[in-house]
């Protein structure tokens, strides 16, 4: 999976390309953890994801809920 991270003031956008599964989820998890404390909003652009597994989502949702 390729992750393109953009920050515009207090909004961080992650554009995701490829597959989000159990193998690639830790990479996205690390990217989410790198979001600055002053970020007020996270946006996930999933238009270019070809595949999303439940295992991949399971890694991501708890992290975004903590933000």
Residues contacting residue 60 through CB under 8 Å, at least 6 positions apart:
20, 25, 28, 29, 32
What is the average pLDDT value for the chain, to the nearest integer? 89
Q: What is the residue range of 17's domain?
A: 2-66
Judge whether residue 64 has pLDDT over 80: no
Number of domains, the chain: 1
Note the pTM of the prediction, 2 decimals: 0.83
The pLDDT of residue 19 is: 97
- Which contacts of 2-5 are long-range, i.e. CB under 8 A and separated by 24 or more positions? 3/27, 3/28, 3/31, 5/31, 5/34
Task: State the pLDDT confidence band at 56, using cuts at 50, 70 and 90.
Answer: confident
CATH of the domain at 50: 3.30.750.24
């Amino acid at each position: 999976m390729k992750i393109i991270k953009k920050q515009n003031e207090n909004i961080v956008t992650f554009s995701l390309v490829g597959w989000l599964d159990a193998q690639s989820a830790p990479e996205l998890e690390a990217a989410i953890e790198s979001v600055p404390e002053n970020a007020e909003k996270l946006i996930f652009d999933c238009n270019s994801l070809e595949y999303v597994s439940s295992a991949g989502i399971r890694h991501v949702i708890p992290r975004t809920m903590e933000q």
